């Protein structure tokens, strides 16, 4: 399953909507995705599963790329 993660680059900064970034990660559960990102200095705001038409829409974006993390 593909998850879309909304995050800030620094966990030390206050979240600001204009600085929010997104990344796509493959995982079985939201917990697995959060565990994969644990070593990154991200301030994770929200994690949501994407599938069906929403996933197809996201794939049309030129910035769509699934981040490979073990």
Q: Where are the domains of the chain?
A: 2-67
pLDDT for 10: 85
Checking if the pLDDT of 70 tops 80, the result is no
Residues 6 or more apart whose CB falls under 8 angstroms from that of 3 comprise: 24, 25, 26, 27, 30, 33, 47, 48, 49, 50
> Which pLDDT tens digit goes with each residue over 10-58?
888 888 888 899 999 999 999 999 999 999 988 999 999 999 999 999 9
Q: How far apart are CA 29 and CA 62, in angstroms?
A: 26
pTM comes to: 0.86
The DSSP code sequence of 1-50 is -EEEEEEES-TTSPP-GGG-EEEEEE-SSHHHHHHHTTTS--EEEEEEEE
Instruction: Give the CATH H-level superfamily of domain 2-67.
Output: RNAP, epsilon subunit-like (3.10.20.730)
């Amino acid at each position: 399953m593909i998850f879309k993660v909304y995050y800030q680059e620094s966990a030390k900064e206050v979240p600001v909507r204009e600085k929010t970034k997104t990344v796509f990660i493959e995982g079985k559960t939201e917990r697995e995705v959060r565990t994969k990102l644990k070593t990154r200095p991200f301030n994770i705001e929200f994690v949501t599963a994407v599938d069906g038409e929403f996933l197809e829409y996201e794939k049309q974006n030129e910035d769509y790329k699934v981040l490979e993390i073990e």
